[in-house]
Amino acid sequence: MAMTGWVHSFESMAAVDGEGLRCAVFLAGCPLRCAYCHNPDTWYPRTGAETDAEQMVRKIARYKPYFGDLGGVTFSGGEPLLQAEWLREMVPLLEKEGIHYVVDTSGALPLTDTVKEVLSGAQSVLLDLKFWDGESYRQYTGQGIERPLETLRYLNDIEKKTRIRTVIVPGINDREELLEKYLSHLTGMACVERYELLGFHTMGFFKYEKLGISNSLAKTPALSEERRKELQKFVDERLSFTRI
Ligand code: SF4
């Protein structure tokens, strides 16, 4: 019997999670508990719709006429690599359809052969670098920084086009001297084509209330777009010097 996967939600035209026009598949389940998470409803495995690889690829393929050369599908979550076996089943089916895929991951899972296979087949990878050191990473996500850094080294070894992303939260990591520490992890990482800063927002707060989960950042304001741009400029100016 074909293996099934659990899909939290499906977005038919997402212009932001990767290059070109894309479908986004949000897979259910996440091992992290990021303090700033705006999708706590994706944390739980085996929720949403259960579907097999063929059904999923058929659904994605309906949007093929819109993808063009750069578009395709982005697997996000939750943490998509929690269901790496299922993703691996989809890889040859997507290849047959000529559809590229992007993986949007926290890099927090062990680098098993299956995880490596899924990452190496991707058109590109969106990798979160959530916090700047082991202590802060553990404090705000519940896990260590080792696996994300190991994932980054692997992506660099296989020369996979990688975009690093960090959510900037006022009062936690919105300072230039901390961004220097983030950048130090990118030293020598030629695979990194871009380092993107995302502003913390409060649009997911209602989900915490609905799910009855305590929200440790309930009093934290959203990051202003002006400040985000300032910090983005700061990392852009330094990135070209650190990655080589
Ligand atoms: S990795 Fe993503 S989905 Fe998981 S807790 Fe963090 S922000 Fe939320």
Provide the whole-model pTM. Answer: 0.96
- For 11, other C-beta atoms within 10 Å of its C-beta total 14
List, for residues 195-229, the tens digit of each pLDDT value. Answer: 999 999 999 999 999 999 999 999 999 999 999 99
The CATH code that applies to domain 4-242 is 3.20.20.70
| pLDDT, tens digit, 9 for 90 and up, residues 46-92 | 999 999 999 999 999 999 998 988 899 999 999 999 999 999 999 99
Instruction: Give residue limits of the domains in the chain.
Output: 4-242
Between the CA of 32 and the centroid of ligand 1 the distance, in Å, is 6
Ligand 1 center–CA 33 separation, angstroms: 6
* Cα distance between residue 117 and residue 63, in whole Å: 25
Residues lining ligand 1, CB < 6 A? Answer: 30, 32-34, 37, 39, 42, 77-79, 106
Q: Could you tell which of 6, 26, 39, 215 is best to mutate to test the pocket of ligand 1, judged by most ligand atoms within 8 Å of the CB?
A: 39
**What is the CA(16)–ligand 1 centre distance, in A?**
17
CA–CA gap between residue 22 and residue 53 (Å, rounded): 18
Report the separation in Å between the CA atom of 196 and the middle of ligand 1, taken as the mean of its atom positions: 17
